[in-house]
Amino acid sequence: MTDLAYLPATEALRLFTARELSPVELMNAVIERAEAVEPLVNALSERTFMDALRQAEQAERAYADGTARPLEGLPVAAKDEQPIAGRLATDGSLAYADHVALVTHPILERVTAAGGIVHARTTTPEFCCAGFTHSKLWGVTRNPWNLEYSPGGSSGGAGAALASGTATLATGSDIGGSIRLPAANTGTVGYKPPYGRVPAMPPYNLDHYCHDGPLARTVADCALLQNVIAGPHPLDVVSLRPAVRLPEHLGDVRGMRIAYVANPGNWEIEPEIAANTLQVAAALQEAGAIVEEASLGLRRADVMRAAFVHFGAIFGPMVARVAEEHGDTLTRYARAFAEDAAAAYGRDGFLAGLELEAEIYAPIGGLLDRYDALICPTTGAPGLLAGDDYVDTKITVNGVALDHYLEYSMTTIFNIASRCPVLNVPSGRATGGMPTGVQIVGRTYDDATVFHVGAALERERPWPFRPESLTA
């Protein structure tokens, strides 16, 4: 049997139902793995292992008496940003180190109602405002594939937990790539649902850049969790009716028209990532899809400008408000984010930002009117160094020093195009053993297609789950 700590969720459920594996056995394996690797990886901000084992015993009884629910007995790591009533709600900040949540996030309500066991919570950068994961509160989270690198952010702890075998499923959130960046950097699968598909909490449920979603090690596992958390919620006015369920059988792309976008415009992309993306396109052709090279002609400066204007209207002021009260307790990167967002908003204003967003979406919408989906790289480089705040450091990609480290990413394009579903799946490996990722972008609100494409890629080019370098 596969190493239990890396057992796919769908396979675990099959074995639970057949009474060939106990939820207690799986939970013990995950806990033992966490105790071995957490001193190196540091992906878990909170552990509730004793309570998780008690819940696993209850899950064992549910399989015995035929009352098992869709996620019964599975260890699910929850992103620390998503609150649980009665537990700390710190946002990864010393400023909120003693805050206790009064409510539970809708998706965590649904996970537990479906029998999932939240055995741990996962680290984030402070206020989830960075594409890497370290904070003054929790320290540095490292990438299980190469400990010198970050797992990305802001759902970095989620990606690192999956890659290090300390969770079977994980939840994340994405405002500029915060699910897809960690998925790409850790060799996992991450889904940014279209805006409104998964309920969120106010006020960020009203921010069209914001998306809560699932991470997993396989496409089927990601679909499993997405089907549990999707659907309308009475406290989220933008949550969509009716609930859309992904099909159980995925991977048929025969006759599907897919646009291969090697570069969305003028992003810098390392040759090994470009080569991996090209291999993905070839694999989809082998699977029966019609794959044609296409272009979008976007400018990364426009995407960065639109994004920071948007951040300056909603996200940045929240961070700035805390900074005004707590000053130097905040990380340098959080203060820099608030300052950059405020400056962008002050220069352009919200209306100009929306006009620019419309210009950015126009070629995407036109392309997706001709194709069922498009694929493009998730990042232009394999990852960011662990512990660097990139306030003073310039990141160099393909020999070019970027103005801002987030320019190494191509994810924010599709927070602007927020109604498009986007699935990140692994595309290969790069220097230093680091995974690379590809984004599968669907037409607005066409969730199923991106999962079909992802499942076809997984079948044609299976990816490894366990980092060979993490020997603990």
The set of catalytic residues is 79, 154, 178
* 88 strand-pairing partners: 100
Cβ burial, residue 285 (10 Å; 0-12/13-18/19+): middle
Closest-CA residue to 425 (of 150, 131, 216): 216
CB atoms within 10 A of CB 46: 18
The per-residue b/e assignment along 93-130, b for 16 or more CB within 10 angstroms, e otherwise, is: bbbbeeeeeeebbbbbbbbbebbbbbbbbbbbbbbbbb
Whole-Å CA distances, 128 to 79, 176, 191: 10, 10, 17
Please report which helix (H) or strand (E) contains residue 374, including its range.
strand 373-377
Output DSSP code: residue 393. P
Beta strand pairing call for 75-79 and 44-47:
unpaired
Query: If DSSP codes are grouped into helix, strand and coil, which group holds residue 236?
Result: strand
Region at 153 (left for phi over 0; alpha for psi -120 to 50; beta for the rest):
beta
